[in-house]
């Protein structure tokens, strides 16, 4: 049986895979499991609930709130707020549980439910498995005055913006910035935070209507940001995704600065400030080989994990590291956040620009990206990707061809029904050739 919980909560087509009934049942089960484990012992339990701008978030929020309140959990409604904002307020308000309704960078018809434990951290895999296993299990629910209360929390945007601004050490006055909010959860708080930090802000794609989230904009469509940066003569631009837990950048020339480059810039800044624990940064196996080479040349260690910010977070938590992230733009700075935070990332990059007086393209030049090609192969049985002998032999042949000058990574997506083929090579032509060849083998061997 396929698990409901993926690498980033429960996600699927809203009102198709992810129904109001399922949202309610998951919330009841989560409350049940946490109560059983003593999380709520000795006090009335409190949960905070936030969402992105998808229209489906409205009915899913109602279902989640109904489930939690019926299980005796008081609920604070945060409204439209980035995932990292919900995580921060879960900790700041002392809540026992946080719930985010978002499908991040996915298209509007999708949505998702992510549960956060006390302190604003992601739930342990074992707790997620228990929630899923015991869906709809009967238990003694509260009645009368013991059912949960539901209250609006009207200052969530102001509190979160103030938290973000408080992380900036250098005035941003004189920096002109374009912020692409992807018509998502940061549309209100994003421009406020950057302006309060002193930057001149041009906000684009910050007019959500419930239907346009991630639609041709944001971190998955950087063309909008590139054009806006050039049009307005901005010093830099930053693109968020729908729930603003990731951030990619564009320099003043319209050139993309990806998550690896951002991570490199911040790693050097934090080492200089003495806040980079053990002079080590955590990244995933998808990080460009050029990033790894640049960090080692700078005397900074790189600890690599499986793909997914949850695995980066786990490594950071267990080993005490203070900086980690992904090429996709998830950057985690544990001194200030418990999850990837796109607005925090943008502010810290701007802070580094202000501190050094360097332009973004100069800071990003610390690393040279090897040509990297990523091919997504849909319509295949991703569960067999690690078991097919023909495919394994093809990967081995490609690795032998590239030697130490390149890399091959083939993995099933954790959130979508497809297999990803990534190849790095000395030239873009070779990377494309090898990637296309392997993608063809994936289609031949794994087609449903």
**Which residues does the annotation mark as catalytic?**
104
How many Å separate Cα 50 from the centre of its chain? 15
- Whole-number Cα distances in Å, 84 to 234, 267, 299, 382: 26, 20, 30, 30
How far apart, in whole angstroms, are the C-alpha atoms of residue 443 and residue 378?
A: 8
Instruction: Please give the span between the terminal C-alpha atoms of the chain, in angstroms, as a whole number.
Output: 17
Pick the closest to residue 181 from 200, 198, 204, 211 (CA basis): 204
3-state DSSP of 272-320: HHCCCHHHEEEEECCCCHHHHHHHHHCCCEEEEECCCHHHHHHHHHHHC
How far apart, in whole angstroms, are the C-alpha atoms of residue 373 and residue 424?
A: 7
Pick the closest to residue 341 from 128, 100, 110 (CA basis): 100
- Residue 243 is labelled as binding a ligand: yes
- Residue 444 is labelled as binding a ligand: no
How far apart, in whole angstroms, are the C-alpha atoms of residue 152 and residue 234?
A: 37
- Residue 404 is labelled as binding a ligand: no
Q: Which helix (H) or strand (E) holds 49?
A: strand 46-51
Pick the closest to residue 309 from 327, 321, 292, 291 (CA basis): 327
CB neighbourhood size of 435 (10 A): 22
Q: Do residues 222 and 248 lie in contact, with contact meaning Cβ atoms separated by under 8 Å?
A: yes
How far apart, in whole angstroms, are the C-alpha atoms of residue 383 and residue 411?
A: 10
How far apart, in whole angstroms, are the C-alpha atoms of residue 348 and residue 126?
A: 34
Which residues does residue 64 pair with via DSSP β-bridges, in sequence order?
A: none
Q: Do residues 446 and 390 lie in contact, with contact meaning Cβ atoms separated by under 8 Å?
A: no
Residues in the chain: 448
Binding residues for Mg(2+): 104, 241, 243, 245
Q: Summarize the annotated binding site as residue ranges.
A: 104, 241, 243, 245
């Amino acid at each position: 049986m396929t698990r409901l919980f993926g690498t980033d909560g429960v996600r699927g087509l809203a009102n198709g895979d992810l129904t109001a009934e399922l949202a309610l049942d998951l919330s009841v089960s989560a409350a049940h499991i946490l109560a059983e484990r003593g999380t709520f012992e000795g006090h009335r339990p409190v949960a905070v609930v936030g969402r992105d701008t998808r229209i489906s978030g409205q009915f899913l929020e109602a279902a989640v709130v109904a489930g939690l309140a019926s299980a005796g959990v008081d609920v604070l409604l945060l409204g439209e707020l980035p995932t990292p904002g919900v995580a921060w307020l879960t900790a700041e308000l002392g809540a026992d549980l946080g719930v985010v309704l978002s499908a991040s960078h996915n298209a509007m018809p999708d949505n998702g439910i992510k549960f956060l434990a006390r302190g604003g951290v992601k739930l342990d895999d074992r707790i997620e498995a228990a929630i899923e296993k015991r869906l709809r299990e009967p238990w003694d629910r509260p009645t009368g005055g013991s059912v949960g209360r539901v209250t609006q929390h009207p200052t969530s945007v102001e509190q979160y913006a103030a938290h973000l601004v408080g992380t900036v050490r250098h005035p941003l006055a004189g920096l002109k910035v374009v912020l692409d909010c992807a018509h998502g959860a940061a549309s209100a708080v994003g421009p406020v935070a950057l302006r309060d930090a002193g930057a001149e802000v041009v906000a684009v794609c910050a007019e959500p209507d419930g239907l346009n989230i991630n639609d041709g904009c944001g971190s998955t469509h950087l063309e909008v940001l590139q054009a806006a940066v050039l049009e307005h003569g901005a010093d830099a631009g930053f693109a968020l995704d729908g729930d603003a837990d990731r951030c990619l950048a564009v320099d003043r020339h319209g050139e993309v600065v990806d998550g690896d480059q951002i991570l490199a810039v911040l790693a050097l800044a934090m080492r200089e400030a003495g806040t980079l624990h053990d002079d080590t940064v955590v990244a995933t196996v998808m990080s460009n080989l050029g990033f790894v080479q640049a960090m080692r040349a700078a005397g900074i260690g790189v600890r690599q994990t499986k793909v997914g910010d949850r695995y980066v977070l786990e490594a950071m938590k267990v080993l005490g590291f203070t900086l980690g992230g992904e090429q996709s733009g998830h950057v985690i700075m544990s001194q200030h956040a418990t999850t990837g935070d796109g607005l925090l990332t943008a502010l810290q990059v701007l802070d580094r620009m202000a501190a050094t007086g360097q332009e973004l393209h100069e800071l990003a030049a610390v690393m040279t990206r090897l040509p990297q090609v990523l091919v997504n192969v849909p319509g295949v049985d991703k569960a067999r990707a690690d078991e097919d002998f023909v495919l394994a032999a093809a990967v081995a042949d490609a690795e032998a061809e590239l030697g130490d000058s390149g890399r091959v990574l083939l993995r099933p997506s954790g959130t979508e029904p497809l297999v990803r083929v990534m190849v790095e090579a000395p030239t873009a032509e070779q990377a494309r050739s090898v990637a296309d060849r392997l993608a063809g083998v994936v289609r031949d061997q794994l087609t449903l």
